[in-house]
Every structure is written in C-alpha cells, then in structure tokens.
Amino acid sequence: MKAYGKVILRSITRSKARFFAIFAIMALGSGFFAGISATAPDMRQTVDSYLDRQNFMDVSLLSTLGFSKQDVQAVSHTKGVEAVMPTWSEDVMSHLANADEAIRMHALPEKGAKDTGSSSMNRPVLVSGRWPQNTQECVLDQKKSLVKQSLKLGDEVTVREQVGQKLLKNTKFKVTGFVQSPMYLTFTLGNTNIGNGQLNRYMYVLPQTFSSSVYTQLAVKVKDAAQLNSFTQAYQDQVQPVCSRLTEVGKQRSPLRKQEI
C-alpha cells in the first residue's frame, strides 16, 4: 500500500502541470454543476416574489359571452375564492413602425395600479412617464417600445377594433408612460385571432375607456395560495379544487347568461 502511494505521489510530482490542469477542470465542472443546480430554484423564487408583489391572479376566467355583475357575485361566493377583480381587455390593430401590429388593451386595476388591496390584481409597474389621467391617454409595454424604438412619450396611438366590436369610447390615445406587466414575463406576448396571429404589444388604459358594462375577464385570488410558491405541487393542490368549483359555476351560469343576452 505504501509503495502504491509512492507511485501516485511520484506520478504527480513528475507531471505537475497535467495534474493541476485535471484538478482545475474537475473544480470548474463541479462549480458549474453547483451553479446550474442552484439557478433554477433561485429563478423560480425570484419570479414568485415578483408575482406576489404585483398581486398576480391565481385563476383567470374568460367568456365569449362576457361576465355580468351576477356572474361576478357567483364567482366571489365560490368556496376557496378570496377575491375577484372584474376587468376588460380587447385585441385591436394599430399601424406602428410602418407595419400593422396587434395590441392587447387592458383596463388598469379599478382602484389604481398602486392599490395594495387583494382585489387589485396583476398590477403593472410604471418604468417611465406617468399613469393615464383620462380616457384619451395610455401606457405601453416598455420592452417592445425599447426594441423597436418606434414610440416615445407624447406620441399618439390610433387603434382599430374588430368588425362588430364596440368596446372603446375612443380610439386615439396619447402615450404617457411605459410599463412592465406581470402578465407578460417572456418576450413572446402570446397569440390572438387578429392580424398575423401574434401579439406585438400590450397597452393599459383607464377602466372608464371601455364602454361596455359587461366584463371580459375575471381575475381570481385563491385563499391561502399567496403564501405558497406558485411553482410547487402544494400551490397546485391549493388552487386546483377551486378551479373545479369555478368550472361548475360556469356550467350553471352559462345558460342564465345566454338568457340575459
């Protein structure tokens, strides 16, 4: 055993450069593996903390028939629901940067983006400029505007609604600010049924900009879900039963909503 140890020691001392090169490669590989292993959990925790700060919804309810106040009440009385935020959104077209672009318009939270109550969800972050003060003003997504460099504060955006749609009180808006939204965490903004099928930008306006009394979306917070990491199975187990109950509420309310129309 002593002889074997001497052989190993001799092989190291005779080729120190090779030994330290192999050692450095192993150390680098181990460090890289440890870093990669820690990156994913850290990223998930960072995203979860950001979503909590902006009071991101746990469940989004959409309907082609829209939601009446009775629908909102039925959802809010569902077991496990902590809060409901009825809101509006619409996909429109606009000619920007020498091309037609699809824009998703959202109503700002009813009580304002700075409101910290549980009923004010999906709060965007103002990056520059100011919030809209009337129905002729808007804020746009910061990321797309920076990349395309096509819009600046004070510019005017004219939008076109789809044929047969009339949800907006006006179609011309002055850009007063740029925002980041918890609803859009990736560079790709999502799909739409207008234009080429891809969303190009998103926009926020005051709720009063929408003329319809029927809501297009309900954002829902689930009781005791905020304290859980949204990337864990525990969170899914907390939210899924509420989703199932809301599905049943939808089945009950749909015929009634059709009768109202």
139 & 229 share domain: yes
What local confidence, expressed as pLDDT, does residue 109 receive?
A: 84
35 & 131 share domain: no
Full domain range(s) for residue 152: 52-258
35 & 83 share domain: no
d(CA 193, CA 213): 23
154 & 239 share domain: yes
pLDDT band at 11 (very low <50, low <70, confident <90, very high): low
d(CA 183, CA 187): 11
212 & 235 share domain: yes
143 & 225 share domain: yes
Q: CB within 8 A of 105, min separation 6: which ones?
A: 89, 90, 91, 92, 138, 159, 168, 202, 203, 204, 205, 209
105 & 162 share domain: yes
Q: CB within 8 A of 71, min separation 6: which ones?
A: 63, 215, 218, 253, 257
In the chain, the number of structural domains is 2
What local confidence, expressed as pLDDT, does residue 100 receive?
A: 85
d(CA 216, CA 202): 16
d(CA 256, CA 239): 26
pLDDT band at 3 (very low <50, low <70, confident <90, very high): low
DSSP conformation class of 171: S
69 & 111 share domain: yes
What local confidence, expressed as pLDDT, does residue 209 receive?
A: 95
Q: Average pLDDT in the 108-117 region?
A: 64
Q: CB within 8 A of 36, min separation 6: which ones?
A: none
107 & 91 share domain: yes
In the chain, helix, strand, coil percent, each to 5? 35, 30, 35
pTM of the predicted structure, to 2 decimals? 0.81
119 & 189 share domain: yes
| CB-count burial class (<10 Å; 0-12, 13-18, 19+) for 75 | buried
22 & 113 share domain: no
Helix axis angle, 2-14 relative to 16-53, nearest 10°? 80
pLDDT band at 2 (very low <50, low <70, confident <90, very high): low
State yes or no: pLDDT of 144 exceeds 70.
no
Strand 137-141, strand 125-129: pairing: unpaired
State yes or no: pLDDT of 206 exceeds 70.
yes
18 & 71 share domain: no
